[in-house]
Structure 1
Amino acid sequence: MIKHPNIVALDDIYESGGHLYLIMQLVSGGELFDRIVEKGFYTERDASRLIFQVLDAVKYLHDLGIVHRDLKPENLLYYSLDEDSKIMISDFGLSKMEDPGSVLSTACGTPGYVAPEVLAQKPYSKAVDCWSIGVIAYILLCGYPPFYDENDAKLFEQILKAEYEFDSPYWDDISDSAKDFIRHLMEKDPEKRFTCEQALQHPWIAGDTALDKNIHQSVSEQIKKNFAKSKWKVSPYP
């Protein structure tokens, strides 16, 4: 049913001896953060192009009545190793059909990316995905998350209040348009939050307000610091 250039396809299903095998489309370009760290040059415009692809794919899902519910950088993979490779959304383990007349209320998702209304245990809608895209856009422009605390209760408190800052010096060179775009997606009230369609029309995505200034050094340093993986510390070979 799902066919979109930025969504990992399910090619086939096999059942054998009590096991179900899902044959997924091969995506070999690696994870989003890895690619950004490896780059020598990275700009707001690069981030804008990435977010455009995510928005376009999630709008497609929403039009089909599907809510992903676990959008995060780890679920964004590059299709190939090519420099201009497209980005692919993966991992639909928590996705759900939004049936007419029914409400979504299950608390699920990944701490740090989950929308306030989910934590407030209120019925929610596809707007939760738009919040997550806002969080991803924030991280893509500074390299660290908008909400952070080692104590989950304190982390959730921040998210429930939608308390986040554009800290200096990390945001000093980022355009006002990018900040405006993020504010519209990371809007506490889901009724006022941008839909994917509205976000796709914002000048930071559809216009030319995304800056071409190289922000690679600052962003990659923060990614390594805040999203450190063992493979960045040790050799990938056994």
Structure 2
Amino acid sequence: MPLGEDGPSWKKRAQDIREIYEFRETLGTGAFSEVVLAEEKTSRKLVAIKCIAKKALEGKETSLENEIAVLHKIKHPNIVALDDIYESGGHLYLIMQLVSGGELFDRIVEKGFYTERDASQLIRQILDAVQYLHDMGIVHRDLKPENLLYYSPDLDSKIMISDFGLSKIEGSGSVMSTACGTPGYVAPEVLAQKPYSKAVDCWSIGVIAYILLCGYPPFYDENDAKLFEQILRAEYEFDSPYWDDISESAKDFIQHLMEKDPSQRFTCEQALQHPWIAGDTALDKNIHQSVSEQIKKNFAKSKWKQAFNATAVVRHMRKLQLGTSQEGPGQTTPTSPCDLLEAGASNGSDSGGCDRSLGPSSHRLPQD
């Protein structure tokens, strides 16, 4: 059914979204979308609104409807919720749950103490969420640290998978656009352009676990072709001295997830039963210094705009808590980002889903 006609019951009509929400600031931009921090005028609840220009979606309407219908059904404590969908003449607005605890790497670097057990607890939450998706027949396809945000600033905050499925909506599921976005997390079978399954997510979780324990990616080369070769052959090592203090159980866990053959790779269910997750083999030794040093060197903030700027949310929440917000109750963004989007969609600014902002700008060797 074409967008703009009477659609499914979960979609609401809105002539002007700003009659319902007060736009605060832009949190990020994608190929043909913009994420805006907004406040619902009646409840004063803060949300993240993903504005999608319809002009950029011509020919993709049916698949978009299907994707959003699936997203609307997803309810899991570790997955950012899609609360509402509004439609106007020129845009779709996805009203997303706002998470305010900041990015995974930032939190690790800020900590004074960080252990294998901390990493194990993070990975367990991710596995639980992805198993939920897999049980629903959904493959995420774009798991990476940049998509992992803390729910709140609390020290014991849960981790959340953010922007779930929206990458698929934006057409970045193809091999080409995945490769130009974040090649370091892509499973070998995806790069090989073979049919793939839920196992691709399990590979990505293995890569995330690897990084959480050493602070640098398992595959690194300035040359993309050589990087792809490493991934295709599943060539990675537990380099000394960075892995000297990491348990053999942790390494075994990673090897089962970063298994080249997807049929032999651990499923989420198997990974959740591994002793490093379900048992007590994750060590309590403080590895903060070495891991945080590597994160700072290998995952410096990209000069490109992040697809979702979690830091902007944290900054805004702190302003609210301090009572120093400069914005009055009736103020709105002078020019709506969504207005700019529509202009961009009509002048061909859609980059085809290839957004290099979605990951580290390069993959380097571990830094001394």
TM-score greater than 0.5 by the shorter chain: yes
Q: In the alignment, is the contact (CA less than 8 A) between 1:103 and 1:125 conserved in 2?
A: no
8 Å contact kept, 2:151–2:158: yes
Q: Displacement, 1:98?
A: 17
Question: Scaled by the length of structure 1, what TM-score is found?
Answer: 0.90
Question: Is it true that 1:168 corresponds to 2:240 in the alignment?
Answer: yes
Alignment partners' CA distance in 2, 1:78 and 1:129: 20
Contact 1:105 1:121 in 2 (8 A): no
Whether 2:137 is the aligned partner of 1:65: answer yes
| Contact 1:142 1:218 (C-alpha < 8 Å) held by counterparts | yes
Q: Deviations over 1:45-104 (max 9, x none)?
A: 000000000000000000000000000000000000000000000122466699999999
Q: Deviations over 1:176-199 (max 9, x none)?
A: 000000000000000000000000
Distance 1:100 1:138 in 2: 24
After superposition, the Cα gap between the structure-2 partners of 1:173 and 1:150, relative to the gap in structure 1 and judged at 3 Å, is same
Shift in CA distance, 189/109, structure 1 to aligned 2, threshold 3 Å: farther
Q: Does 1:208 align with 2:280?
A: yes
Q: RMSD in angstroms over aligned alpha carbons?
A: 4.7
Structure 2 residue runs of 5 or longer lacking an equivalent are 1-73, 305-365
Between 167-176 and 16-25, the greater mean CA deviation after superposition: 16-25
* Range 87-96 or range 207-216, more displaced: 87-96
Q: Which has the larger radius of gyration?
A: 2
Consecutive unaligned residues of structure 1, counting only runs of 5 or more, are: none
Superposition deviation, residue 107 in structure 1: 7.3
Question: Within 1, Cα distance between the matches of 2:191 and 2:84?
Answer: 35
Alignment check: 8 A CA contact 1:65 1:97 kept: no
Residue aligning to 1:231: 303
Contact 2:141 2:173 (8 Å CA) reproduced: no
CA gap 1:71/1:108 in 2 versus in 1, 3 angstroms:
farther
Deviating more after overlay: 164-173 vs 88-97: 88-97
Structure 2 CA distance, aligned partners of 1:88 and 1:201?
A: 21
Relative distance call for 1:47 and 1:179 in structure 2 (3 A) is same
1:171-223 superposed Cα distances (whole Å, 9 cap, x missing partner): 00000000000000000000000000000000000000000000000000000
| Structure 2 residue 284 is the aligned partner of structure 1 residue 154 | no
Distance 2:256 2:172 in 1: 26
Cα deviation 1:19-70 (Å, max 9, x = unaligned): 1111000100000000000000000000000000000000000000000000
Closer, same or farther: CA 104–97 of 1 in aligned 2, 3 Å:
farther
Q: Is the 8 A contact 2:199 2:267 kept in 1?
A: yes
Q: Secondary structure, in 3 states, of the residue corresponding to 1:96?
A: helix
Residues 158 and 35 (structure 1), Cα distance of their counterparts in 2 relative to 1, 3 Å cut: same
> Aligned pair count?
234
SS in 2 for 1:77: strand
Percent identical: 92
Q: What is the CA distance between 1:6 and its match in structure 2?
A: 0.2
- Going from structure 1 to structure 2, the CA distance change for 1:94 and 1:131 (only over 3 Å counts) comes to farther
User: For residue 207 of structure 2, what is the aligned residue in structure 1?
Assistant: 135
